[in-house]
Amino acid sequence: MKKLLLFAICVTLLAAPTFAQTAANGGEAAYVKDNYTKYEYQIPMRDGKKLFTSVYVPKDQSKKYPFMMDRTPYSVGPYGTDKYKGSLGPSPAFMHDGYIFVYQDVRGRFMSEGIFEEMMPEKEDHSANTDVDEGTDTYDTIDWLLKNVPNNSGKVGVWGISYPGFYTTAALLSRHPALVAASPQAPMSDLWRDDGWHNGAFFLVANFGFYPGFTNRQDDKPTQRRGGRFKPGHQ
């Protein structure tokens, strides 16, 4: 009996953090809905393509707010102005401080138009409207947000982890004067040395594990569909 009671106590103690985390996440989701209004936009780029962007604006309009933006190839879902993320920003602390949170499907991914290019390099020449890269897409996005989202402070910060970290680094190349902060965290930076290949050696397991799920389209047609899993089969 004592052993059974001790076992029950141990299970309860081990489960307590999980219950607390679940409650916290539920509280964050409720906070988002209670304090933010969600908008969805197709923001035009200089070459005519439109990038799908979700914007969460504080309901309290008594002051101006800076933008905090995350550009991602992994989907800004859930889609729909009545469907909210469970939390906003790099951490709940930012959500409670109050920002205008911006999430964007990058060019060629999910609900954004255009053709996706892996780690799109910066172009040296931007003289024509067709000379686009992640820097110009960031610049055009920031410019549109400043002009079309009311009650903003005129300042923008960008953050991202892993692949979104790459887009955060690329955002610095936009050189937009309103971009005042960028935090690329563990950014994807070199396919040949550290991601798709390891110092030139094809990273077989990682690539077959990652790209089937990552590759959901190879055309200019927006979609909410996600990729599938690689099925090796049996011999």
- pLDDT-based confidence at residue 9 (cuts at 50, 70, 90): very low
In the chain, what are the domains?
Answer: 36-189 (3.40.50.1820)
| Residue 215 CB contacts under 8 Å (≥ 6 apart), including other chains | 227
User: For 197-233, how does the pLDDT look when each residue is reduced to its tens digit (9 = 90+)?
Assistant: 888 899 888 898 899 999 999 999 999 999 998 887 7
DSSP character at residue 127: -
Here the tokens at position 221 are 């047609």
Q: Is the dihedral of CA 160, 80, 51, 143 positive or negative?
A: negative
Q: How far apart are CA 199 and CA 217, in angstroms?
A: 28
User: For 41-59, how does the pLDDT look when each residue is reduced to its tens digit (9 = 90+)?
Assistant: 999 999 999 999 999 999 9
